[in-house]
């Protein structure tokens, strides 16, 4: 199963981080609009990512819900009928909820730097160090930590869990999404 080392952080300064990501990647990044629908499963997480253009991906992943760099194992398959698949999976499994976001993707070496504007939550940064077959978890963590420094991400800004978790927590606390 493919894996990556991930970190996620709330953004204090969207403009600064975006500028640093542009400098480090040498590009203006790629804008991707996504709607993720999460389904009830006994272990891990299952989501259907709809790219809002008639295509999508069904993604299963497992990772610990802890702050800082963490190893994530995942499986992905493409679909040309994301809305139909959402309906079938909702009927079969039930939904946990949905996350809508606009993502700007920058590639820095083997790392996907995501600058996300999440509906109902705000702005975040996510790093995904896409692990090569021969790399250890420790090597991935070292790459993530170095990139955090280069992007000016502070340890106190790191978050655990997924955007879906944050949205559910807000709903439980009486905050509208």
pLDDT of residue 160: 87
What does the DSSP 8-state code read for residue 149? H
pTM for the whole structure: 0.89
What's the mean per-residue pLDDT of the chain? 94
pLDDT of residue 175: 66
Does pLDDT of 142 surpass 60?
A: yes
86 in Cβ contact with 108 (< 8 Å): no
User: Shortest CA distance to 144 belongs to which of 105, 102, 108, 90?
Assistant: 108
Q: What is the pLDDT of residues 109-135, one digit of tens each?
A: 999 999 999 999 999 999 999 999 899
Q: What is the pLDDT of residues 10-38, one digit of tens each?
A: 999 999 999 999 999 999 999 999 999 99
Beta strands in the chain (DSSP E): 3-10, 30-39, 45-50, 56-62, 70-79, 95-108, 111-118, 122-130
pLDDT of residue 161: 84
> What domains appear along the chain, each with residue ranges and CATH number?
3-172 (2.40.320.10)
Q: What is the pLDDT of residues 44-97, one digit of tens each?
A: 999 999 999 999 999 999 988 777 788 889 999 999 999 999 999 999 999 999
Q: What are phi and psi of 21, to 5 degrees?
A: -65, -40
């Amino acid at each position: 199963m493919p894996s990556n080392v991930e970190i996620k952080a709330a953004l204090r300064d969207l403009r600064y981080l975006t500028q640093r990501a542009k400098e480090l990647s040498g590009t203006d990044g790629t804008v991707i609009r996504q709607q993720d629908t999460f389904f009830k499963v006994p272990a891990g997480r299952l989501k259907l990512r709809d790219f809002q253009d008639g295509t999508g991906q069904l993604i299963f992943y497992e990772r610990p819900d802890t702050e800082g760099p963490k190893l994530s194992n995942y499986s992905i398959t493409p679909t040309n009928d994301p809305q139909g698949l959402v309906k079938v999976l909702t009927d079969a499994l039930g939904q946990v909820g949905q996350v809508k976001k606009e993502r700007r993707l920058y590639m820095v070496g083997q790392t996907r730097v995501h600058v996300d504007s999440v509906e109902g939550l705000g702005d975040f940064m996510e790093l995904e160090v896409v692990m090569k077959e021969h790399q250890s978890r420790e090597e991935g963590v070292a790459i993530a930590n170095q990139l955090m420094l280069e992007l000016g991400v502070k340890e106190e800004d790191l978050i655990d869990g997924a955007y879906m978790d944050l949205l559910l927590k807000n709903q439980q606390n009486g905050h509208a999404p």
